[in-house]
Amino acid sequence: MENNEKHHISSYTSHALVLIALLVLTFITVYISKFHFGVFSVGVALLVASVKATTVLTWFMHLKFESKFTKWMVGGVFILFALVVIITFIDYLLR
Amino acid sequence: MTNHSGHPHQIDSETGKMGMWLFLFTELFLFGGLFLAYAVLRIQHAEGFHRAAQELDIFIGTLNTVVLLVSSMTVAMSITALQKGNKNLSIGLILITVLLAGVFMVNKYFEWSHKFEHHLWPGSEVYLNLDRTEITFYGLYYMMTGLHALHVFIGAILLIVTVFRIKAGVQHAGHYVLLENSALYWHLVDLIWIFLFPLLYLIT
């Protein structure tokens, strides 16, 4: 098809590299869960999970190569969700 | 979105994908609400959550994480294969993804039946005699992993439908929005698990 040039085709190698990165991050999470950082362990676990989620969104879900509009839309929704979380916590912690 | 040539398939694909993303946002808030409930209750009942979470099998949890990550890669590769016109490879990769979905569900079956053997299911006598905060943890555990497993099941069905559409030649190198959308759905299942796994299994 003549339109194909417009679509970015991800290579098999890039998908494999993304998988390796995700697996390494998974084992890091499992490994550090053995140490007890107290309050910080939740933070560390969520931080690694966020890095993994961003990797999946960017490469596997192909966001890197989507239109600006889609990127902003997805980013905006995550900011909206973050706001919901923050506002809920402000409510609970200041009660 | 402004620079496409107006080829009907391409317009379909753009809007089709946009619609899928909008649907995924509602999914984000469906699970997001549960995550939020988990976070708030966890802060209030740290002790009980800590005790209950220790009962979960980290090995099965880790194994299922690896299974889902690999399946995410195979479904992403199936798009590459179809874009390059390699129909059979694409179908093969989707079928591997469906197979991995099956492996995930079998693991989940063993995990849940292990708990059921200990009479630990919502409403059972053992369950109701637990500490109140542990009941809360297990309630969220069954709700979140159950809802997630339902998504794995639906995702697998979507992928199987996609295989038939590729076989029929409806989805091909020039038009593959159904494959893209099924893949997006599948990645969402993976995304949710990325957060479920550390929160339920690891933080003890």
- ipTM confidence: 0.90
State the pLDDT confidence band at B1, using cuts at 50, 70 and 90.
very low
Greater model confidence, A32 or B34: B34
Residue A39 has pLDDT above 80, yes or no: no
Residue A44 has pLDDT above 70, yes or no: yes
Q: What is the pTM of this model?
A: 0.91
**CB nearest to A12's CB, from B39, B65, B77:** B77
pLDDT tens track for B80-109: 999 999 999 999 999 999 999 999 999 999
What distances in angstroms separate CA A56 from CA B17, B193, B201, one per listed residue? 17, 12, 21
State the pLDDT confidence band at B126, using cuts at 50, 70 and 90.
confident
Region of poorest pLDDT, from A8-22, A59-73, B6-20, B82-96: B6-20
Please report the pLDDT score of residue A33 as a whole number. 84
| Chain A residues whose beta carbon lies within 8 Å of the beta carbon of residue B32 | 81, 84-85
CB hemisphere CA count around B163 (13 angstroms): 17
Greater model confidence, B192 or B130: B192
Section B36-43 average pLDDT = 90
- Amino acid identity of residue B63, one-letter, is L
Please report the pLDDT score of residue A58 as a whole number. 96
Give the residues across from B172 on adjacent strands. Answer: B175
| Chain A residues whose beta carbon lies within 8 Å of the beta carbon of residue B28 | 77-78, 81
Residue B14 has pLDDT above 50, yes or no: yes
Cα–Cα distance, B44 to A75 (Å, whole number): 30
| Chain B residues whose beta carbon lies within 8 Å of the beta carbon of residue A57 | 187, 191
Interchain contact, B72 vs A48, CB within 8 Å = no
The percent of residues in chain B predicted with pLDDT above 90, rounded, is: 71
Nearest CA in chain A to B29: A81
Interchain contact, A59 vs B76, CB within 8 Å = yes
Backbone angles phi, psi at B176, to 5 degrees: -140, 35
